[in-house]
Amino acid sequence: MFNKLLRHQFLFEELVKRDFKKKYKRTVLGMAWSILSPLLMLLVMRLVFTQFFGRGMEHYTTYLFCGNLVFSYFSESTGQGMTSLMGNAGIFTKVNVPKYLFLFSKNVQTLINFGLTLCVFFVFCVLDGITFTWKFICLLYPICCLVLFNVGVGLILSAMFVFFRDIQYLWSVFTQLLMYMSAIFYTIDSYSYTVQCLFLLNPLYLFIRYFRKIVIEATIPTIWFHLLMLADVIIVFGIGCWMYKKYNTRFLYYV
């Protein structure tokens, strides 16, 4: 896979540049929207949910930002990844190139947006009185896992979208449901132990919870938490790679 990426490095770089230009075409603020968009969403969520869920909660803005940061990256990455194959059918039907290049280029673009928003997040942490410790380095683990997880989900969705166009509508509904199930704007402390354990079945909640553990609570999650997150990534990424390998030639007949 990496050898093929190196052989098609020029095409990959051009795809990333094209995606950036296409996304911010005819916008006045351009790339600034990659930062403004999550900030505006954070502002709306804070105004709406502070009175209902944030009363008496310390660092509630940072708590919200952690959830919104992870979910926005996941939603954007998987949403764009889903249409990456169909959107580039005119290229791979004429030229023999690895089809996952198109998905990877989308993920690089969304990863850059995530990195910019992450910088703003750290600024908010300072304003919110968060104490920075060496444990912040541990955030590299959930970030790397989240990148691979998004790629894996993107591989699955983009493959399914070639055969079933309805998947885009189902995914839209599912991500909306996932947002409410990921405890972005509320805590799960009031739930029973059994219900709290059920939240761990949601991979997105694991990423959000990891961020909050490090940033707000200044504690490192247990080894079992790390292994559970890694297992989710391996399973999803493995399924995505398998689907691309199995249906690689069939994609040409359905685009």
Record the pTM: 0.86
What confidence category does residue 50 fall into, taking pLDDT thresholds of 50, 70 and 90? low
| Average pLDDT for the chain | 83
What does the pLDDT average to over 72-86?
A: 89
DSSP the chain: -HHHHHHTHHHHHHHHHHHHHHHTTT-SSGGGHHHHHHHHHHHHHHHHHHHHH-TT-TTHHHHHHHHHHHHHHHHHHHHHHHTHHHHTHHHHTTS---THHHHHHHHHHHHHHHHHHHHHHHHHHHHTTPPP-GGGGGGHHHHHHHHHHHHHHHHHHHHHHHH-TTHHHHHHHHHHHHHHTTTSSS-STTS-HHHHHHHTT-HHHHHHHHHHHHHTS--PPPHHHHHHHHHHHHHHHHHHHHHHHHHTTTHHHH-
Q: What is the pLDDT of residues 94-110, one digit of tens each?
A: 777 777 788 888 888 88
Q: What is the pLDDT of residues 17-27, one digit of tens each?
A: 666 666 656 65
